[in-house]
Structure 1
């Protein structure tokens, strides 16, 4: 809990979440899914833009924070905070227009199952955007803090996500238009995987 509170400012509002929503082009009236929603940096923005958001978060503390934050929002009726994870998404099949995950792929316990769950819930043609910041890249502003052995917060366990492996998993699961690569998102180097639902 103390670790999350220390990082709260960057989890409450983040440039990378803003950039992800712009890349996804979330539209009013869409039903969207934020996997590992945390304190709701992306969920709140999407709801303000007119989307209905299912904010999936496995950590009880983070769900409490997001649930409290939700109550303070004018668009609170468009945010549903639920207990779940990439591997267990509590929504119906083919019910989601767009899915995103920011800095959560490195936490997925069963990546293949997570990909399968996203495939189950996304509508045909729905958009998927998975992003993990590349803290190992010296160009990342938080490289010294999270970049690996010897960094200040090495214990957090940021494990480099293999873009090619994620792309291969999505392709094998039947997703279309799969692109997996390193690129800049919100001014930060990141592993980015995009796809569309089959």
Structure 2
């Protein structure tokens, strides 16, 4: 995915400065002081800013395919490691993060299965992956129950454990957060 253009990114950022879904995901993630966090599809950076306020900017990183969003986030969260990339080509070492999350961006990925494989590889043993999307009845700008089942199955195939979905009210919609854990090394 090439991402949002400069004008579209700025327009989107204006209307999505601090949506409640950010707090929901950060709360579900239960960030601790030893976590190393990656946000995928960070948009204007509100969730990353919240994560940084809890564990420190030096412990958070983000990727977005839009250079405009990446620049906005680097300015918004000084000290964060922000790079231009999509979910399928995250430019960090395997095993680098204890928490990886994405908020309403998975439906934009060019190849969901490839993105999931990439993100699970970037998790440290015991690391948590959170995939948040707006719950829908039919395919669109979010995720349906059938798509949740497919994502959960794919995560199982990738060796993730404890795969489950948390549903939380978010204004007039429901946020579905698919949560999984990378197993500890054997």
Does the alignment reach a TM-score above 0.5?
yes
Correspondences of 1:7-156 after superposition (within 5 Å): 7-51=12-56, 52-70=59-77, 76-77=78-79, 79-134=80-135, 136=136
Give TM-score, length-normalised by structure 1: 0.79
Q: Distance in 2 between the 1:88 and 1:34 partners? A: 13
Q: Distance in 2 between the 1:9 and 1:99 partners? A: 25
Q: Which runs of 5+ in 1 are unaligned?
A: 71-75, 138-146, 149-156
The answer as to whether partners of 1:20 and 1:185 remain within 8 angstroms in 2 is no
Alignment of 1:190 with 2:175, yes or no, is yes
Shift of residue 85, structure 1, vs aligned partner: 1.2
Partner of 1:180: 165
Give TM-score, length-normalised by structure 2: 0.84
Task: Quote the RMSD (CA, aligned, Å).
Answer: 2.1
Q: Which runs of 5+ in 2 are unaligned?
A: 1-5
Q: Deviations over 1:58-117 (max 9, x none)?
A: 1111112212223xxxxx22x111111110111111110101100011011111111111
Please say which structure displays the higher CA radius of gyration: 1
Aligned length: 173
The answer as to whether partners of 1:19 and 1:185 remain within 8 angstroms in 2 is no
The answer as to whether partners of 1:37 and 1:56 remain within 8 angstroms in 2 is yes
Q: Distance in 1 between the 2:20 and 2:29 partners? A: 14
After TM superposition, what 4+ stretches of structure 1 lie above 4 angstroms from structure 2? none
Q: Distance in 2 between the 1:160 and 1:93 partners? A: 27
